[in-house]
Amino acid sequence: MKFIIRRGIMQLIGIKNHLRNILIIFFSIIFIGDIFAQQNIQAEVNHYLANLPFGSFSINLPKFQDKDYNIKDYGAAGDGYTMNTEAFKKAVEACAEAGGGRVIVPPGIWLTGPIELKSNINFHLERGALILFSPDHKDYPIVKIPHGSFAVASPVYGYDLENIAITGEGLFDGNGTTWRPVKKSKVTSALWKSFVNSGGVLSDDGSTWFPSAVSRDGDKTFVQFKKNKKEITSDDLLSIRDAMRPKLISLMNCKRILIDGVTFENSPSFAFNPNFCEDMVIKDVKINNEYWAQNGDGIDIGSSKNVLVYNCTVSAGDDGICMKSSKGKSSIGPALENIVIENCVVYHAHGGFVIGSNTDGGIHNIFVRNCDFVGTDVGLRFKSGRDRGALVDNIFISNIFMKDILNEAILFNTYYENEKDTGKSFPVTERTPVFKDFHIDSIFCTGAKSAASITGLPEMPIQNIKIADSYISAERGVETDNAKNILFDNVKLVNAKGPLFKINQSSDFVLNKISFQHASENFMNVSGKDTKSISIENTDIKSFQAPIIYTGDVDKNSVVIK
């Protein structure tokens, strides 16, 4: 009998050891799989950063301990009703205090207030996980932010961090409809009626719906605070919190960042907005904001360096993938530098790829390639204005495919929000926008209102722009105003009505190998007393009834045909 019991015990011990070995092998396979996945991403990153048209740079991915912290173990419930703010906080803090690892969000609907990230953490959403942020704005504290004063805490935020990631196949829903105003002109009559009937208030002219009176009047209240108080406190701002819409994901002063696979939707304002960050990879991310989402930008990279964005899909209520630059307290050289964007798709948005409007920190070394823009207001959109600009240069854009662009396929405009001063010249300052050295080639657009519009300032023309090897189907051709050193080389313009080129107050143009589907009334309209040195080369314009029309006081010798 003792022998039988002993043998049974030994068998149980053997089974236990066998199970332990299986578990060790299982978790080893997962760990090794994570290592291989990390190595694969690093190989992809290295591939995208090879053979750039400017100086090379590298990005090192974050690395994490092999430890998991499941939010359910900290009291979280994924029923869509239970508030999980404390559970998220406990899981993140436990992971951080142990030196880092993965915070796991399993399948479920996880209602929560803001989540503050910590260094050395991979915040991982499994497939089926949906983090739904609270519709109650009282759950969002006023926080101190770097490079600024106070802001409403973003649904997900992290300041002064290193070695962080947000990964997985889950979703972040910012509950943005509780924050955002809606313009009547942007939505259908049925949708407008549903907003009005839901409550909230209207603007004085009835053109805009606001979720609350505070969200409508907050800007005016803030102005009064500034007039009447020496120092505005966080308690002051609590009274106008509804008007201080947060970004859905906000990272500031962070290094070694990976954003991989997740979906960001329904953001209060911008969906993903890193500022003053370095060494960042954004891959396979989906942005889903409604077309009427006020200030609902997709991916806005601000004042950051060494960034790679690839395989991302964006639908936005404002700009799709946008570069912004503002000076930091210790900024040396351009604040936004070394950015690569490849293989991305942008659906509805104000612009597919955008630079601006704030460019006062300077922008240098941008490479955009192999992207699709479908139904955006503008395809390539470069904008700034007086007192919000600086030097933007060394921009390379190639292989862009556009369809059904509502306005311009390519747009340069340094009068952004200064339209009342159009045509007026002002002194050049350190905040005068300077757009130069743009290299754009292989642009294919079927359907746009305008092929290109290039509008600079009288005191600072848009300059050194090359557009080559492109095909653009548009209702209108190319219009320029205050532009200098512009080359159109081997460009075909299709379906344009009226002149293919309207050149005003511009100089040093070369139009080489320009082709067209059929001849309209005239090839070019030239105007402006400062227009000069326009060269038409290797282009047969004899089929036009009046190839070149000079208007106003333009020099009749400003155009040379070679």
Per residue in 42-74, pLDDT (tens digit) is 999 999 999 999 988 999 999 999 999 999 999
The predicted structure's pLDDT at residue 314: 98
Q: What is the mean pLDDT of the chain?
A: 92
In the predicted model, is pLDDT for residue 537 greater than 60? yes
The predicted structure's pLDDT at residue 522: 87
pLDDT digits (tens, 9 = 90+) for 341-400: 999 999 999 999 999 999 999 999 999 999 999 999 999 999 999 989 999 999 999 999
Q: Which residue is listed with tokens 């067209």?
A: 516
98 occurs within a structural domain: no
CATH number at residue 558: 2.160.20
Q: What is the mean pLDDT of residues 122-128?
A: 98
Q: What is the mean pLDDT of residues 146-153?
A: 87
| CB-CB neighbours of 164 under 10 Å | 25
The predicted structure's pLDDT at residue 331: 60
The residue that leads in pLDDT, 222 or 26, is 222
Choose the weakest-confidence range: 76-85, 229-238, 526-535.
229-238
pLDDT digits (tens, 9 = 90+) for 422-439: 778 899 999 999 999 999
pLDDT digits (tens, 9 = 90+) for 164-177: 999 999 999 999 99
In the predicted model, is pLDDT for residue 82 greater than 70? yes
430 occurs within a structural domain: yes
In the predicted model, is pLDDT for residue 23 greater than 50? no
In the predicted model, is pLDDT for residue 195 greater than 90? yes
**Are residues 363 and 333 in contact, defined by beta-carbon separation less than 8 angstroms?**
no
Specify the pairing of strand 142-144 against strand 150-152.
Answer: antiparallel
361 HSE (CA, 13 A, CB side): 25
Q: What is the mean pLDDT of residues 283-289?
A: 98
The predicted structure's pLDDT at residue 148: 75
Q: What is the mean pLDDT of residues 280-307?
A: 97
Choose the weakest-confidence range: 27-36, 132-141, 360-369.
27-36
Q: Which residue is listed with tokens 């005239």?
A: 522
The predicted structure's pLDDT at residue 236: 87
Q: What is the mean pLDDT of residues 128-147?
A: 95
pLDDT digits (tens, 9 = 90+) for 451-468: 999 999 999 999 999 999
Which tokens is 476 given? 């209108």
257 occurs within a structural domain: no
404 confidence band (pLDDT: 50, 70, 90): very high
146 HSE (CA, 13 A, CB side): 19
409 occurs within a structural domain: yes
The predicted structure's pLDDT at residue 279: 98
Containing domain of residue 16, as a range?
A: 1-48
293 occurs within a structural domain: no
Last residue of a domain, one of 15, 33, 48: 48
Structural domains of the chain, count: 2
The predicted structure's pLDDT at residue 34: 57
Most confident of 139-148, 238-247, 328-337: 238-247
In the predicted model, is pLDDT for residue 113 greater than 70? yes
Choose the weakest-confidence range: 12-16, 104-108, 265-269, 541-545.
12-16
Which residues are CB-neighbours of 61 under 8 A, at least 6 positions away? 38, 41, 42, 45, 256, 258, 281
In the predicted model, is pLDDT for residue 505 greater than 80? yes
The predicted structure's pLDDT at residue 381: 98
In the predicted model, is pLDDT for residue 264 greater than 80? yes
In the predicted model, is pLDDT for residue 284 greater than 70? yes
511 occurs within a structural domain: yes
The predicted structure's pLDDT at residue 317: 96
411 confidence band (pLDDT: 50, 70, 90): very high
The predicted structure's pLDDT at residue 11: 56
359 occurs within a structural domain: yes
The predicted structure's pLDDT at residue 12: 46
User: Could you give the CA distance from residue 502 to residue 507 in angstroms, rounded to a whole number?
Assistant: 12
Residue 62: C-alpha distances to residues 91, 186, 226, 259 (Å): 20, 41, 42, 11
The residue that leads in pLDDT, 507 or 329, is 507
9 confidence band (pLDDT: 50, 70, 90): very low
Which tokens is 497 given? 């009505």
Q: What is the mean pLDDT of residues 311-318?
A: 98
Q: What is the 3-state secondary structure (H, E, C) of 344-406?
A: CEECCCCEEEEECCCCCCCEEEEEEEEEEEECCCEEEEEECCCCCCCEEEEEEEEEEEEECCC
The predicted structure's pLDDT at residue 312: 98
User: Could you give the CA distance from residue 323 to residue 414 in angstroms, rounded to a whole number?
Assistant: 15
Q: What is the mean pLDDT of residues 137-153?
A: 91
**Are residues 260 and 123 in contact, defined by beta-carbon separation less than 8 angstroms?**
no
518 occurs within a structural domain: yes
**Are residues 237 and 142 in contact, defined by beta-carbon separation less than 8 angstroms?**
yes
